[in-house]
Amino acid sequence: MKNFRGTGVAMVTPFKLSGEVDFPALENLTNHLINGGVDYLVVQGTTGESATLTQNEKQEVLDCVVDVNSGKLPIVFGHGGNNTRALIEGFDKIDLKGVDAILSASPYYNKPTQNGIIAHYTALADASPLPIILYNVPGRTSSNMLSSTTLQLAEHPNVIAMKEASGNLDQVGAIIKRKPSKFLVLSGDDPLVVPHMALGGDGIISVIANAFPREFSAISKACFIGDYNKARELHYLLVDFIYLLFAEGNPSGVKAALEILGVTEAHVRLPLAPISKDLYKQLADSIDQIKGAHVD
């Protein structure tokens, strides 16, 4: 089983102005991340605008990343939704060659009970050909997975980790304190990676790492060796930029940042819209400040 400790990156999906997937830009982004020192790649999570891609497009995006990666890093594929049966049937429709785990967000909109969430993930884990990483993001799903729910699911042999994006460090700590030793707890909030790891967390699945893979990966590396002075220094270097990224929606912000950095263009698909000119300038100024800083 692959190790998903450290910094994973929730990859954006580059588009052309026409709205089609920009595969040369996707190749460029993949190499940017591999060369930037991230620990693994997450393809077609929500940051990848998976809700707006067809099944064929999702497969083509995955195949492109797998091909460029050539086995260098572990790959996680996003496969979540609010129709349990459709997700299970979907495993037979996806070629998962080169993929090491599945990231699946808790069902949105339905607002299931905790028992419903447990039953959903149990059915998914029973059917999945690959290990499952849970994803709790109540700001998107309107349904929080309680620590007791996560801990019950952590006992399933095919559930290996939780991406915790509740923003509730008490909840994070409760999970880490009582979890099985092999179960990983990953932050889903870029600004909280330092306190998350100080509690004993195992890393993060990050959005900002699309833009600054080396600088952001250095935070988890510093935390692993107990150098929290270095981790705090990097956090404060990046934190204003992080909040700018999300000021007008994700991934519109990080796509604009990638355009400024010359990695991909900033196009998004409806219902998302490009960020404002004012925010674009603020991002450009913030990027200049970060690039001007010396990071060991």
Per-residue pLDDT tens digits for 139-185: 999 999 999 999 999 999 999 999 999 999 999 999 999 999 999 99
- Determine the average pLDDT of the residues in 233-254: 97
Q: Which of the residues 40, 58, 121, 163 is marked catalytic?
A: 163
Per-residue pLDDT band for 3 (boundaries 50, 70, 90) equals confident
Neighbours of 293 (CB within 10 A): 11
Q: Which of 27, 24, 62 is nearest to 43 (CA)?
A: 62
pLDDT tens per residue across span 79-118: 999 999 999 999 999 999 999 999 999 999 999 999 999 9
Instruction: Tell me the pLDDT band of 295, cut-offs 50, 70 and 90.
Output: low
Q: Which of the following is catalytic: 135, 179, 255, 280? A: 135
What's residue 292's pLDDT? 85
280 included as an active-site residue: no
Instruction: Work out the pLDDT band at 128, boundaries 50, 70, 90.
Output: very high
The packing angle between helices 277-292 and 228-245, to 10°, is: 160
**8 A C-beta contact, residue 238 and residue 215:** yes
Whole-prediction pTM = 0.96
- At residue 123, does pLDDT exceed 60? yes
**CA–CA distances in Å: residue 39 to residues 10, 99, 166, 209, 214:** 12, 14, 23, 11, 10
DSSP string, 102-114: EEEEPPPSS---H
Cα–Cα dist 153/160, whole Å: 9
pLDDT beyond 60 at 229: yes
**What is the average pLDDT score of the chain?**
97
Kindly report the CATH number that applies to the domain delimited by 6-236. Answer: 3.20.20.70
- Rounded percentage of the chain residues whose pLDDT exceeds 70: 99
- Bridge partners (DSSP) of residue 163 are 135, 186
Active site residue 135: yes
- The domain segmentation of the chain, as residue ranges, is 6-236
